[in-house]
């Protein structure tokens, strides 16, 4: 069997969707009945690495529209048996290659009707829909009225890549957090993604003890607004913006934290919760988006209402009072082995 994965990004990409697509490609490649997995990306932010032998990654496709169409034409000539549409925006391309592609859904891109009438019609040609979470699937079905097969395939965590580590002395010094208790959120600081909970944490921070600081990992076009807000609230000295950081520093960043907090309103799943848990960090998520599924409805962490500052503050105080770090055994539910088994059942 030959599999074609059309995606926004994968190898050489950053963020949860890129990571998910890498896992998807590698889970397909691990199957004995799969001869080749062809991955065609739209964007690539850094040099790709660690590509499995059965995965053919068309890095050149990310250079622009002409290169992308050349890669699509080449992929079409390989006559793939399964075409996976890795984003709803790519449906026109997927449907030009397969009569009934598989469609992947992640989060808010599928929560409301798309602006494209063509995409809204084409989704009914899909041979199946695979969603990262129940909330994403439910909201998609509400507006789309899709009647084909549907499946859930949540993120996988490679726990062996994380773990509880000592705090890196250079990072502690660089961020000025010695003898501080650290709240952490990692994510893009994008104006179109203000649902992640950065604002809610800034508003709660003045009510917390003075030794509690807030580290925001990531960068984006909304950073200046958040910096200004911290200054306005009088807590700029207690808020650290890391800016962009290399992937190899991510585990060490988690290990700086006493609590990982993301009271978001629009996460399709929240892979960062799994990463924090795999680093032994207590977590706080939202009752109202995919974070509650990543935390197994509160089994793996505390859930709060993002619109309730008192609830957020109480949860932070409770998690800070724990003073211990451990990797919960139930995190095994999201293992890559389970991911592969679930994908196998879907295929």
Domain with CATH 3.40.50.2000 in the chain: 2-157+335-346, 159-331
Q: In angstroms, rounded to a whole number, what is the distance separating the alpha carbons of residues 233 and 203?
A: 8
pLDDT, position 268: 87
Superfamily holding 2-157+335-346: Glycogen Phosphorylase B; (3.40.50.2000)
Half-sphere exposure of 320 (CA within 13 A, CB side): 18
Q: In angstroms, rounded to a whole number, what is the distance separating the alpha carbons of residues 140 and 194?
A: 21
CATH of 159-331, one of 3.30.420.40, 3.40.50.1260, 3.40.1160.10, 3.40.50.2000: 3.40.50.2000
φ, ψ dihedrals at 182, nearest 5° = -115, 125
pLDDT, position 258: 97
Q: In angstroms, rounded to a whole number, what is the distance separating the alpha carbons of residues 36 and 78?
A: 10
pLDDT, position 195: 85
Tokens of 140: 């998609």
Q: In angstroms, rounded to a whole number, what is the distance separating the alpha carbons of residues 133 and 166?
A: 33
Vertex 105: Cα angle to 34 and 161 (nearest 5)? 65
Which contiguous run of DSSP H or E holds residue 56?
A: strand 55-57
pLDDT, position 277: 97
- A 10 A CB-CB count for 332 gives 12
pLDDT, position 303: 97
Could you read off the pLDDT tens digit of each residue along the chain, which spans 347 residues? Answer: 999 999 999 999 888 899 999 999 999 999 999 999 999 999 998 888 889 999 999 999 999 999 999 999 999 999 999 999 999 999 999 999 999 999 999 988 999 998 899 999 999 999 999 999 999 999 999 999 999 999 999 999 999 999 999 999 999 999 999 999 999 999 989 888 788 899 999 999 999 999 999 999 999 999 999 999 999 999 999 999 999 888 889 999 999 999 999 999 988 898 999 999 999 999 999 999 889 999 999 999 999 999 999 999 999 999 999 888 999 999 999 999 999 999 999 98
Predicted model pTM: 0.91
In b/e form, how buried is each residue of 32-45, taking b as 16+ CB within 10 angstroms? eebebbbbbbbebe
């Amino acid at each position: 069997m030959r599999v074609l994965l059309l995606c926004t990004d994968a190898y050489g990409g950053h963020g949860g969707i890129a990571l998910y697509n890498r896992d998807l490609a590698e889970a397909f490649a691990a199957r004995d009945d799969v001869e080749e997995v062809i991955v065609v990306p739209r964007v690539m932010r850094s040099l790709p690495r660690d590509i499995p032998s059965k995965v053919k990654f068309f890095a050149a496709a990310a250079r622009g529209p002409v290169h992308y169409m050349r890669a699509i034409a080449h992929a079409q000539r390989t006559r793939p048996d399964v075409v996976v549409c890795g984003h709803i925006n790519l449906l026109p391309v997927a449907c030009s290659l397969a009569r009934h592609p598989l469609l992947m859904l992640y989060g808010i891109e599928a929560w409301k009707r798309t602006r494209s009438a063509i995409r809204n019609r084409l989704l009914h040609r899909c041979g199946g829909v695979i969603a990262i979470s129940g909330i994403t699937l439910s909201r998609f079905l509400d507006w789309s009225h899709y009647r084909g097969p549907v499946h859930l395939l949540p993120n996988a965590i490679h726990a062996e890549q994380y773990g509880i580590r000592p705090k890196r002395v250079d990072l502690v010094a660089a961020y000025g957090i010695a003898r501080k208790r650290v709240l952490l959120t990692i994510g893009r600081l994008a104006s179109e993604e203000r649902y992640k909970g950065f604002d809610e944490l800034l508003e709660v921070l003045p009510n917390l003890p003075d030794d509690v600081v807030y580290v925001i990992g990531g960068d984006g076009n909304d950073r200046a607004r958040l910096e200004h807000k911290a200054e306005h609230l009088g807590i700029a000295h207690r808020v650290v913006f890391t800016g962009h950081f290399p992937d190899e520093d991510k585990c060490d960043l988690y290990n700086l934290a006493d609590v990982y907090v993301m009271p978001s309103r629009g996460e399709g799943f929240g892979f960062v919760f799994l990463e924090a848990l795999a680093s032994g960090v207590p977590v706080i998520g939202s009752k109202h988006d995919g974070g509650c599924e990543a935390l197994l409805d509160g089994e793996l962490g505390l859930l709060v209402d993002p619109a309730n500052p008192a609830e957020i503050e109480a949860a932070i105080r409770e998690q800070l009072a724990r003073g211990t770090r451990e990797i919960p055994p139930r995190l095994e539910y999201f293992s890559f082995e389970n991911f592969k088994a679930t994908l196998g059942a879907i295929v």
